[in-house]
Amino acid sequence: MKKKDNQKQENLEESPIEKLDKNVISSEEVGEVISGDEVALAEQMERTKALTKEQQLEALNNKEKLAAEQKAKEEARIAEEKRIQEEARKRLEANRLREEAKAAEQKAQEEAKKAEELKIQEEAKKTAELKAQEAKKTAELKAQEEAKKPAATKEGVTSAAEPQTQPVNTEIKKSDEPSTFKRVMAGLLFLVFFAIVWFLPELSNMISKYQKSRNAEPIIMDGVSICKNSRTSENLDINTTAKFWIINGKMYKLEYIITTVGDRTEDEKELKDLNENCERLKLEAGELDGVSISCSLNNGTNITREKLDYETLKIKEVKAAFVEAGGIYPEFKKKESIDKIESKMKSSGYECSRQ
């Protein structure tokens, strides 16, 4: 039977069976299937099912392998982003610590300078008091000596040989010499004049403050309060401006403008990093209501603007990720007193004025 089937197969020029995968079905097996060999047909079906299962398992393994590769890539990407964020946070923290240390050092130097000035003033004041006391004592001693001189002159006059002419001379001498009262008053006037000259700067300052208080300009309650602060790092100049929009002395909108100026060539990398941090902050703030960020880098100058509109701002939504990305957390509250805000800003080294 197999020989007959083989002969039939050879006589066929092209048969659909020839198009089957020869690695799966042999020519003899095809003949057995055509001839109706049920055993061969069953065996072939089992082999086909087994092969299909293997293909399915292989496809499943390939799918799982692909999913594992994609998961590994995603985990690597997330880890890289976390690493970049952590580096940015550490860099910002280091900059903040350097700034705080520098501010503390400057404050300590200013306090030491003030203490030295106060010490010098105290010493000068004590010296002036001692000199005044010495002058007073000297004046009193002179006054006492001058008070004794008329009495001695009088005794000498009574013991003189010519009683008629001597009293006349004594009266003339007595009228020419200043009295004790006049000497004491002259000493006191000298002390008063010395005190006025010594404390003249302080008196001028007090008079100036009094005049300013009398001629004080009206306080602006509607407009913009602008507070500025400047500092310098190792190679960069950093200027921070905070603008507070106020109505009836209450704040309702705030804008921070941080301008960093460096050398266009030497500080290119650091300025570029600052601009990239600003762009990441801009993405972080994209989903926050009432917060808008803008960035610019041009000719060695990086400018970061952060606007907070307290009319629509939801402070609870401003999370740690925003601050870690370089954002300024809104520490002030809506409708907070501008006097209180300016007091806080001045204590942090800012100079404020209203427009």
Q: Which domains does the chain have, with CATH numbers?
A: 223-319+329-354 (3.30.1830.10)
- pLDDT reported for residue 159: 46
- b/e sequence 207-234, b meaning 16+ C-beta within 10 Å: eeeeeeeeeeeeeeeeeebbbbbeeeee
Residue type, 221: M
Token pair listed for 163: 């009683």
288-299 in b/e form (b: 16+ CB < 10 A) is bebbebebebee
Helix (H, G, I), strand (E, B), or coil: what is residue 199?
coil
Report field, pTM of the whole predicted structure over 0.75: no
Radius of gyration for the chain, computed over Cα atoms and rounded to the nearest angstrom: 50
- Contact in structure between 253 and 279 (CB atoms under 8 Å): no
Strongest mean pLDDT among 71-75, 151-155, 190-194, 202-206 = 71-75
Taking only the tens place, the pLDDT of each residue in 38-78 is 777 777 777 777 777 777 788 888 888 888 888 999 999 99
pLDDT in tens, 213-260: 665 567 888 999 999 999 988 889 999 999 999 999 999 999 999 999
Q: Do 330 and 308 contact (CB within 8 A), yes or no?
A: yes
Q: How many CB atoms lie within 10 A of CB 74?
A: 10
Query: For 141-177, how does the pLDDT look when each residue is reduced to its tens digit (9 = 90+)?
Result: 777 777 666 544 444 444 444 444 444 444 444 445 5
Stretch (H or E) spanning 76: helix 38-158
In this prediction, residue 157 carries a pLDDT of 44
Tens-place pLDDT, residues 81-98? 888 888 888 888 888 888
3 state DSSP class of 261: strand
How many Cβ atoms are within 10 Å of 171's Cβ, its own excluded?
11
